[in-house]
Amino acid sequence: MTARVPTYRAAAIAGGALLALSPLTAQAAQAAPPPHTASPARTVHPVRTVPAVAAKGAVLVDGTNGATLFGKEADTARPIASTAKIMAASVVLETKGVDLERQVPVKQAYRDYVTRHGSSTADLQTGDKLTVRQLLYATLLPSGADAAYALADTFGTGATEAERTASFVAQLNAKAAELRLAHTTFDSFDGGGTDTSTPAELAKLARHAMQNDTFRTIVKTKQYKGEAPAANGRTRYYTWNNTNQLLGSYNGVIGIKTGTTTPAGDCLVFAATRGDKTLIGTVLNSKDRYADAAKLLDHGFGTTTAKTMKLRSLPANSRRD
């Protein structure tokens, strides 16, 4: 009887040599599952929740490219109160050949305007001579309507104060058209009228304004102290505190402007920089504008500091806006 010779299979090994496998070994090799290949590690990113803000309208944008990071009725036009002074300052600063050291006499009409409208004021004294630069500080820090009036009267054209201020308001609207802010309109030089904009367009205006070095320097200033020649020949000393309490309260904040009227509610245009990232935002008609702004900035920066933020206190004699 002829003995059966077991069948062997050959397997290649390194160097091209062949290794004979027994039948059992071959069967085991066929039955074995393929070697497990590890999946590449996946990076897990924390999920950012959408912030709940009290403002009726709000937006947060990238300060570099304008990309929208958050929006709430961002394209709905609303009253903007004294945030309109951002445009007033921009028009002055972009006037060809503007002389920031030009002295402007304070007229009684500027003070009367504040009294008549119950507007915020820098308490400019009649007969004092302030520079254009000082008037910009007075407009943007204590939100002085008297200072805004002085700028409008100086940079508008016409034979009368009424004509000059109307001309200045027309310049605000012309600049809005130039910047393609289709839903932004002005009928006052200080935001005390029916001036309106959308959160998105107001943020776009703020991005534009922040390109100016002087504007950036002013809106990040917490307190300004200066002096001016007084009407009696002596020296008047002025101190203006920034109404924006987000400055010094949230790390990285560099501006920009508050605004408050009954129709507009509490408004805030704000900006902050951390590292190489700048964010700009707007909240309109908010019951808690600073908390809203902090939440939006946390959203943009990926932080959680809003919960522990403590607002910077303003001196007792500071203006509120």
Crossing angle for the helix pair 132-140 and 85-93, to the nearest 10 degrees: 160
> b vs e for 74-99, b when ≥16 Cβ sit within 10 Å of the residue's Cβ?
beebbbbbbbbbbbbbbbbbeeeeee
Query: Six-digit token pair at 187?
Result: 């009928």
Which single residue is written with the structure tokens 């776009």? 204
pLDDT tens digits along 295-315: 999 999 999 999 999 999 999
CA distance 183 to 243: 27
Percent of all residues in the chain with a pLDDT value above 70, rounded to a whole number: 85
Q: Which amino acid is at 206?
A: A
Q: Are strands 235-241 and 9-12 parallel, antiparallel or unpaired?
A: unpaired
Crossing angle for the helix pair 108-117 and 145-155, to the nearest 10 degrees: 130
Please tell me the predicted confidence (pLDDT) of residue 16.
38
pLDDT average, residue stretch 82-100? 98
> b vs e for 122-131, b when ≥16 Cβ sit within 10 Å of the residue's Cβ?
bbbbeebebb
Q: Which of 72, 85, 175, 204 is catalytic?
A: 85
Whether 39 is a known active-site residue: answer: no
Q: Which of 143, 188, 197, 286 is catalytic?
A: 143
Q: Facing residues of 223 across strands?
A: 241
The residues, ordered by sequence, that sit 6+ positions from 309 with a Cβ below 8 Å of its Cβ are 249, 250, 290, 291, 294
Whether 143 is a known active-site residue: answer: yes
pLDDT tens digits along 14-57: 333 333 444 434 444 444 445 554 445 554 444 567 899 999 99
Whether 220 is a known active-site residue: answer: no
Please tell me the predicted confidence (pLDDT) of residue 320.
87
Q: Which of 82, 90, 188, 197 is catalytic?
A: 82
Q: Facing residues of 61 across strands?
A: 68, 280
3-state SS, residue 38: coil
Query: Six-digit token pair at 54?
Result: 């009290």
Which single residue is written with the structure tokens 């504008």? 289
pLDDT of 5 strictly over 80: no
